[in-house]
Amino acid sequence: MTGINGLSACAAALTLSCGVAVAADYAIRDTSYRDPVTGRVRQLTLEVPVSADAAWAAISTDAGLKGWVAPVAHIDLMNGGMLEASYSASAHLGERENMRNQIIAYVPGRMMVYQNVHVPKDAPADFALLAALRTVIEIEPIDAGHARIIESGVGYGEGPGLDALYSHFGAGNAYEFEALAKSLTGHPIDWTVEAAQAKVSVGHKK
């Protein structure tokens, strides 16, 4: 979710594959649109064969987040609470370079709003612009065994910097939601393999 804005920004930079996926057991759609008042909304919609409770657990518990966000992740589920994460499996909570997203508000089981408040110093995004965005994640039950998850990045105005962020999160959020879908359908990220792939990818760019 933007890591979550800050999280997906770094995820896109570290992964080898960032495409939107469609599989027999889940579907991801780009449902982005332009709002006449607030501007562009970067949005993805995922329908997955799990209950709404299971979908909520994936975004609101440490165990759920570790399956798709990062190997080190912790969330304090409360208004004003913090979601902290690191892509380094050897990192510890509280370290300066960890990513942090603050929970602005939430409705248990249904909705969460985040704001990025800290990214690592080498993150590929303009922090001042990033901090002005908000990420809204909504969980909608379709039936007892299916749920819809909608992630909306709100606050994309006009200008080159925001254009770059909007484009960047097109890839980052797609990777993020593919990882979420796979985790919910029994294939959480193997962070050891992910780290090895990232190392190879960086090596190839040298």
The class (CATH top level) of 5-188 is alpha beta
d(CA 115, CA 1): 10
**Structure confidence by residue, pLDDT tens digits, 76-96:** 999 999 999 998 999 999 999
pLDDT at residue number 70: 94
pLDDT at residue number 67: 96
d(CA 4, CA 175): 11
pLDDT at residue number 201: 45
Neighbours of 169 (CB within 10 A): 27
pLDDT at residue number 4: 52
What are phi and psi for residue 89, nearest 5 degrees?
Answer: -65, -20
In this structure, the strands spanning 99-107 and 22-23 are unpaired
Low pLDDT (below 50) residues in the chain: 1-3, 5-7, 9-23, 201-202, 204-206
| Segments making up each domain of the chain, as ranges | 5-188
d(CA 55, CA 50): 7
pLDDT at residue number 9: 42
